[in-house]
Structure 1
């Protein structure tokens, strides 16, 4: 497997990544495997999760793909158990799964309870389920790590996306609360707020090309991030031994976008 200069940092460690059937989740899974982690792919659709697992195996890594609905605590628990049975434990949990409607602008008055609850169930309740299911395993690890996916929307708000902004604000609070609660157990809890050029964002800009240049102008680095090379490797670094004293932080992995805002 082609590996970067951090190649040995996560050898012998096991990571579980939710929402890893594509996009940023796939990028994170690939980056973790690149530095030696064995990766459990938890995806809502088994076929997409297996695609990610095959990409990891093709590079010489170890991966297990599972069909997991993070809105179910029992399904998340089964995924954690599967990681322990297959690889002997769990050291890292990355909750990336998000509801498909989260990226679609929608005014508050157009939300009904079902819309709101569906997004909360995946993003925020899913984070709760991951934390409950993984705590004992992460505590048993010598270097337990939990990484949550936040957003600048959770910091400065989001016009036309109130549910997503509220949820990511909740993720921010949960990250800080768990860092305090789990610190004595030797577990670090952090979140990243990424900006990546995903397939979904590419599709959006393809329909709204006039918006692309004005949006990119907000990035001091002049580009959106790569799912694996920028976002995934940042997560892998945060999970490494050199970051064991960092906890309770919301880290912007966004090319300076939030600074520019």
Structure 2
């Protein structure tokens, strides 16, 4: 069985995605943030810690803007906030502080009291010899301090116009890695060329995957992502966890029927 066939078979074995649709992108981001807070409160209460993997792009920016106030409203502060851990679905292999880095999005939560030690940043070129070393370090950190059984409580995903998620791009060999939770991405079709990404193995084990998309420019990617699993043409179609919800504004959902 090819890697693509294996990923698609595993995807098909998982529950199909639920759909949350609202008129505006801000509305769906608020709903996703509120549900994230609920799930993290449940995770800390039942398992002692909550693990959230963040995304970048327009979805990541909007969610990061919503999360501090949403966490506060849900009572995620003090000792509870100290048991929340942040990871990243993908990261650009650029130096710390570079505006391209996704980890800059956590500043609001750190300001709200999240311990900086609970932000599990991907190492940049100033700390490791190359992107492969950065991916290896993240894999080691996940094994040592990540969620039990590798199950993130929540994974946020943006959806690219080409239906990529994380840094798993259509037709790119990194999207086909199995047998590990982290992959080093070389020659990304979208700059910068080197990245570190979670794999579909990691997504499939996650307790809740949230795909968030807004705007008419994402409509075709959303249609493909909610179609039959096709990891080569539409990686988003294989972005499922034990539970999966797509949060869409009306424009992004405009290509859906039924």
What TM-score, normalized by structure 1, do the two folds share? Answer: 0.35
The higher-RCO structure (CA 8 Å, 6+ apart) is 2
More helix by share: 1
